């Protein structure tokens, strides 16, 4: 469950590729148009982005290829230097931090997982997971003990001494996730981590990701171009187009109240039942909870099959498994019938 306290705040972030990019921001009050950029031979990869990511939130940034989402996430960690703006992490402006300070933050407070697993082929699973801890100077016994805990957490216990080439794609990605978690990051960046996987393995990894988040409650910025993946994982979604965020909100906000024709087209084929959460439909408890239950974070589409045995009401549970409300068959049918 996300808190109201922002962990990461971005204000007016620009990344302009091309000579004199910073100088282009002044003439037009800080917002040069696409035509201005093209005339100067520049590319506005990220344009005036303003977002807040709350502690414990899964914040998904999505868009088509070339929309600027991967450039933005690299700006957030200063792997790419923004042209202008402010990035506040726990209140500290990262753009004012020295390179030495940024290295310290990346080593101790940020975790990163990318589409390509980038495992070190000459190291075993435990060697790969422990590697960032070795870079931190942690002694071998402590780093291997922590690495074993992360390996067990991602479901690879018993594979500690296997090499990456002996693992499946999904297992390799689990190693990448375990390695990024080994530093116990406050902020976790994932850039299309599952897009190279087969559909069935991808679904399994999404399940694993949600399980891990239920345990770890990290603050997560997750990049994807797959709207089905986004609505399954996200607390909130920001949709990017041509370097700009055109709308940010909950999955329900985007599907039920698109702010622009682009967002409407982007979400047009998504069924309401896949995005409306059980929490939006539940009513209060009025006695003993039914035996059959569903999570308040589940989509209505996941709840529908549970009524197949004739039940009229389901118990709704929170992240701790406590009954917090009731879901009626009629409410689910109404959403399903509206498409």
Structural domain containing residue 105: 6-109+185-270
- Do 262 and 280 lie in one domain? The reply is no
Residue 32 or residue 161, greater confidence? 161
- Whether residues 36 and 104 fall in one domain: yes
Domain co-membership, 324 together with 261: no
pLDDT category at 27 given cuts 50, 70, 90 is low
Work out the average pLDDT over 5-28. Answer: 83
Strands 219-224 and 58-62: parallel
Structure tokens at 20: 């004199």
* pLDDT bracket for residue 30 (50, 70, 90): low
The answer to the question of residue 163 being in a domain is: no
| Residue 18 confidence (pLDDT) above 90 | no
- Given 270, 288, 310, the domain boundary residue is 270
Q: What is the mean pLDDT of residues 4-14?
A: 89
Pair (101, 190) in one structural domain: yes
Answer yes or no: do 282 and 332 share one domain: yes
Q: Is the pLDDT of residue 28 over 60?
A: no
Last residue of a domain, one of 270, 286, 302: 270
Same domain, 17 and 95: yes
Domain count, the chain: 2
Does residue 330 sit in the same domain as residue 205? Answer: no
What rounded mean pLDDT belongs to the chain? 88
Q: Which of 240, 270, 300 is the last residue of a domain?
A: 270
Report if residue 316 sits inside a domain.
yes
- Burial of residue 288 (number of CB atoms within 10 Å: 0-12, 13-18, 19+): exposed
Q: Which residue has the tokens 């389901």?
A: 314
Q: 320: which residues sit within 8 A by CB, 6+ positions away?
A: none
Residue 282 shares a structural domain with residue 247: no
CATH (domain of 226) = 3.40.50.300
Sorting pLDDT into bands at 50, 70 and 90, what band is 95? very high
Mean pLDDT of 277-298: 87
Pairing of β 236-241 and β 244-249:
antiparallel
Q: What is the DSSP string of 269-332?
A: T--HHHHSBHHHH-B---SSPPS-EEETTSBHHHHGGGGTTS-SEEEEE-TTS-EEEEEEHHHH
Give CA 24 to chain center in angstroms: 32
Cβ–Cβ < 8 Å for 324, 317: yes
Q: Check whether residue 310 and residue 237 sit in a common domain.
A: no
The residue-averaged pLDDT of 104-120 equals 86
CATH number for the domain harbouring residue 322 = 3.10.580.10
pLDDT at 170: 85
């Amino acid at each position: 469950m996300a808190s109201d306290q922002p962990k990461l705040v971005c204000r007016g972030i620009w990344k302009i590729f091309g000579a004199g990019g910073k100088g282009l921001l002044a003439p037009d009050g800080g917002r040069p148009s696409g035509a201005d950029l093209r005339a100067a031979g520049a590319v506005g990869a990220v344009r005036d982005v303003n977002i807040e990511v709350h502690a414990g939130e899964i914040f998904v940034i999505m868009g088509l290829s070339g929309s600027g989402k991967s450039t933005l996430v690299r700006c957030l960690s200063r792997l790419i230097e923004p042209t202008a703006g402010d990035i506040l992490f726990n209140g500290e402006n990262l753009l004012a931090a020295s390179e030495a300070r940024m290295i310290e933050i990346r080593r101790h407070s940020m975790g990163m997982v990318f589409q390509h697993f980038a495992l070190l082929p000459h190291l075993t699973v435990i060697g790969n997971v422990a590697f960032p801890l070795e870079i931190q100077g942690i002694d071998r016994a402590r780093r291997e003990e922590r690495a074993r805990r992360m390996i067990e957490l991602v479901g690879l216990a018993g594979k500690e001494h296997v090499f990456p080439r002996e693992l499946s794609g999904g297992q390799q990605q689990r190693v990448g996730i375990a390695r990024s978690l080994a530093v116990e990051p406050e902020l976790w960046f994932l850039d299309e981590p599952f897009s190279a996987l087969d559909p069935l393995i991808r679904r399994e990894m999404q399940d694993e990701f949600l399980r891990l988040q239920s345990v770890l409650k990290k603050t997560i910025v997750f990049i994807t171009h797959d709207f089905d993946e986004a609505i399954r994982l996200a607390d909130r979604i920001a949709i990017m187009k041509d370097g700009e965020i055109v709308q940010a909100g909950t999955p329900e906000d985007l599907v039920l109240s698109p702010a622009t024709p682009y967002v409407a087209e982007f979400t047009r084929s998504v069924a309401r039942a896949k995005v409306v959460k059980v929490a939006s439909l539940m009513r209060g408890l009025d006695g003993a909870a039914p035996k059959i239950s569903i999570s308040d974070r589940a989509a209505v589409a996941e709840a529908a099959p549970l009524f197949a045995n004739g039940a009229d009401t389901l118990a709704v549970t929170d992240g701790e498994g406590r009954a917090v409300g009731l879901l009626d068959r009629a409410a689910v049918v109404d959403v399903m019938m509206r498409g």
